[in-house]
Amino acid sequence: MEDILYAPWRNEYITNKKIQGCVFCHISLNAQEDENLHVLYRDEHCFIVMNRYPYTPGHFMIIPHLHTDKLEDLQSEVWLHMSALAQKGVRLLKEGLNAQGVNIGMNLGKAGGAGIAEHIHMHLVPRWERDTNFITSIAQTRVYSADFEKVYKKIKNLISRYIEA
């Protein structure tokens, strides 16, 4: 068996591909790149995309198309839609990936811990008992225990049953 330390952030050094500007706006405006960008779903209000720097296998985000860093400025219709997608996403993670729990969260602003502070987004992180280990606690390094592409394809196949239904 091969040991793998998952480090997707190194890809830009290898491929020399770096998105200029807001990465979420780039994804929003480039539906033709959905598979390469690991988009799971999109509609008129928002899109769902796999997190490129996941905490656990299956970690995805719900992101409005509107570029804003202010949740308080988001139209109620869009916020309610995102919330409805979050409910469906939790069911997908629990039933489709057998997650024992789910963390849902938004980090608003740089001071709030947002890695991409200029465009709000909601995280859905599937959790399992004992899914953290010493390397996360001691070395501040995440070990991704599954093949990212396989997880993406599995969730993508579940979208029609849980999100679009």
- 67 assigned to active site: no
> Is residue 87 packed enough to be buried (19+ CB in 10 Å), middle (13-18) or exposed (0-12)?
exposed
Beta pairing partners, 47: 42, 63
Beta partners for 46?
64
Is the Cα dihedral 83, 88, 92, 98 positive or negative?
A: positive
Q: Which of 38, 45, 119, 121 is catalytic?
A: 121
Q: How many degrees, rounded to 5, is the angle at CA 132 between CA 51 and CA 102? A: 55
Q: Which of 123, 52, 116 minimizes the C-alpha distance to 82?
A: 123
Residues marked active site are found at: 121
